[in-house]
Every structure is written in C-alpha cells, then in structure tokens.
Structure 1
C-alpha cells in the first residue's frame, strides 16, 4: 500500500495528514481518493500536484509500488 501525505488544503479536505491506499497507478489512486474522501476533496485534488517519492507524477499511467510515498500538494502562495 502506498503511503499518502496530505498538505495544507488537501489535508483539510481529507481531514487527515496521512493515509495508505492500494493503487497500481496514479489514475487508480485519484479514483480511490475521490471515492474515499468525496466531492470536496476531488475539487481540491484537481488543483494539487502529486509527487511520488519526490518526483512529480502528472501522468495517470505512472505506476505505484507498495513502498512508494505520494505527496498531495495544493498550490502554495507567498514567497
């Protein structure tokens, strides 16, 4: 199961900072997240970047291993 870390607005929408899900690809992960956390989270997820082990994963075909860490990062403002 991949470990997920939610940050800022994503953590607020999910009402947690961490989770684990068993998904084979980023696309499957997005689907499972929507089913698990609902429509409010889906709206936030649409704005987020996903990083797998620190590398951006913008393609839904990116595969996930059970040992992967996925960071869900909403856009940040400031500087």
Structure 2
C-alpha cells in the first residue's frame, strides 16, 4: 500500500495530510484518490505534481510499488 502525503491546497481539498492507497500505477492512484476525495480534489490534483520517492512522476502507466511514498504537490510560489 503506497503512502501518500498531501501538501498545501491538496491537503485542504482532501481534508487530510495523507493516505494509504492500493494502486499498481500512477493512473490507478489518481483514480483512487479522485474516487475517495471527490470532484474538488480532482480539480486540485489536475494542477499538482506527483513525486514518487522524490522523483517526479508524469507517466500514468508508471508502476507504483507498495513501498513507494508519493507526495502530491500543488503549484506554489514564494519569495
């Protein structure tokens, strides 16, 4: 079961800091998160970057292991 951490707007949309999700691919993970957290989270997720074990994941077909850690990071600016 992959460990998911939500940051900033993603955490607000999910009303959670994290979750554990069974998913074999990044695409399955996205679908499971949308099903669990709903349409507002889906909107935010579409703007987010996913980091799997610290590396950006852009391919929905990419394999996701049970031991992977996924960070859901909305775009942000700072200064």
The interval holding the TM-score normalised by the smaller chain is: over 0.9
- Tell me what 1:25 maps to: 25
Output the TM-score relative to the length of structure 2. Answer: 0.98
Structure 2 equivalent of residue 74 of structure 1: 74
Which string of whole-angstrom CA distances, capped at 9 and with x for unpartnered residues, describes residues 32-72 of structure 1?
11100000000000000000000000110111100000000
Note the residue ranges of structure 2 that are not aligned, 5 or more in a row. Answer: none
Q: TM-score, normalising length from structure 1?
A: 0.98
- Once residues 18 and 50 of structure 2 are traced to their aligned partners in structure 1, the CA distance between those partners, rounded to angstroms, is 14
* CA distance in structure 1 between the aligned counterparts of 2:78 and 2:71, rounded to whole angstroms: 20
What is the RMSD of the two structures over their aligned residues, measured on CA atoms?
0.5
- Report the alpha carbon displacement of residue 78 of structure 1 after superposing the two structures with TM: 1.4
Who is 1:44 aligned against? 44
Q: Which of structure 1's runs of 4+ aligned residues deviate more than 4 A?
A: none
* Alpha-carbon shift at residue 18 of structure 1 (Å): 1.0
Q: Which residue of 2 aligns with 1:7?
A: 7
- Aligned counterparts of 1:62 and 1:74: Cα–Cα separation in 2: 20
Aligned residues: 79
1:1-47 CA distances to partner (integer Å, 9 max, x unpaired)?
00000000000000000100000000000001110000000000000
